[in-house]
Amino acid sequence: MCLKKHEYTVVLRGTSAAVLLKHDYFRVNGFPTGIGPATVAVRCRWPKHTGDVEFPGHLWIEIVGRARGLQKAIPILANAGLAILPIIAFSTNSAISDPEIELAFDSTPGGKSRQFFQSFVPPETKALRFVRTFNTELTASLFTAVAQHPQSERFRTSISQYRLALEHWTTGRETLSLAHLWMALEALTEVQLKHEYAKRELDPKTQRRELLIALGERAKRVEKMDAREEANALNARIRKDIILRGDRECYKQAKTASDGFEHGFLDFADIRDYARQARTKIANYLRQRILELLDLTTETRAALLSPPFSTPMGHWPIVRYFRGTLVGESDDLAAPESAYPYMRWAPRLRNCDVGQDGQIHIGLDDRWTGQFADGIELKDASTEVWKPD
């Protein structure tokens, strides 16, 4: 028996450094899936944080499509929702984690009996984090340019690796983010190669050798290369001289870190040091080159390369430090039944406002209470708020 197709809605939810304003949304109509076109819509939750003050929460990704049964609809529609997240992350240059499936149900108009599914997804925490609003028009232009390019799959692979690099964009994870950036560079190499062949109108039979010589390799050296040596040399030239704009030091650091990590011939501290030096530079070169290769207007490309989108942003909490001096003659510093002296912290969000530039501005009103032994006082107290690297 063949089941009749019904309309189903699948909802994903998860953390993101890229957020939408309260009543804004990003929508893609006719997204291709294995069961037909689907509509994907992205919104942002704004739960109350302190009193009536709201702060951006998780992203909500809603996918609507038609299928023969809920069980068939869930994985296919969920994957459609996941597929657009790398474009959003790349557009905003901000980390977006894989969301989880929270809801799925039959949304066929006029239905009387509907299948329903729900999975528990933890609510947002009270921990404040740095967020970046994204421009839906710029993101839509980027999505269209990638979808319409003849080498769309290569671009998607490179952009997906870039997104994974952003997931590790914090101190201590430089090696992992660099590893994904190198894979993004490898995926983009073929796109750049075909672009160079077409731009220079080279003979398909001799194009590799001609391009190698045009990029600076000596003709006599090229003549002695076999096919494999020729391909490796050309890939290196494309990456070093074009995508990384001749920054040989960046190329050397990134390749050493990638090879050392993959093949295990370097001490991990050395790998991380090379990755730390190269990570931001290679990310900037990659992102700029991808945007240059896509069919975007000059204005769209300039906007995507301008602040705040010009700087990679990970999942960064708002870090608060408290400093001071403990004064007193007792060696017993902790309050009774406490292991250590500490400040009891009551975090409060005083306000969360959206500026004319679309950026979110917050005010903090944290409360601190000392928990010390009798006779111990805190002097010269100060607080700091920091943005991680």
Candidates 345, 380, 344, 386; CA nearest to 365 is 345
Backbone angles phi, psi at 369, to 5 degrees: -135, 125
**More confident: 178 or 263:** 178
pLDDT of residue 3: 66
Residue type (1 letter), 7: E
Instruction: Indicate whether 28 pLDDT > 70.
Output: yes
Q: Is residue 159 helix, strand or coil?
A: helix
Q: What is the C-alpha to C-alpha distance for residues 233 and 212, in angstroms, rounded to an integer?
A: 8
Quote the percentage of the chain above a pLDDT of 70: 99
C-alpha 62: how far from its chain's center? Answer: 19
Q: What is the pLDDT of residue 114?
A: 92
Burial of 264 (0-12, 13-18, 19+ CB in 10 A): exposed
What confidence category does residue 389 fall into, taking pLDDT thresholds of 50, 70 and 90? Answer: low
Pick 254 or 2 by higher pLDDT: 254
Can you tell me the distance from the alpha carbon of 387 to that of 284, in angstroms, rounded to the nearest whole number?
20
Q: Using one digit for the tens of pLDDT, what is the confidence trace for 217-248? A: 888 888 888 889 989 999 999 999 999 999 99
For 266-306, write each residue's pLDDT tens digit.
Answer: 899 999 999 999 999 999 999 999 999 999 999 999 999 99
Annotated domain spans of the chain: 6-133, 150-293, 319-386
DSSP conformation class of 231: H
pLDDT at 1: 47
Q: Taking residues 181-209, what's their average pLDDT?
A: 93
Assess contact for 233 and 240: CB atoms under 8 A. no
Q: What is the pLDDT of residues 30-62, one digit of tens each?
A: 999 999 999 999 999 999 998 899 999 999 999
pLDDT tens track for 72-125? 999 999 999 999 999 999 999 999 999 999 999 999 999 888 999 999 999 998
Q: pLDDT, tens digit, for every residue of 143-177?
A: 999 999 999 999 999 999 999 999 999 989 999 99
- Quickly tell me which residue has 């998780």 as its tokens: 58
- Cα angle for residues 68, 12, 157 (degrees, 5° grid): 90
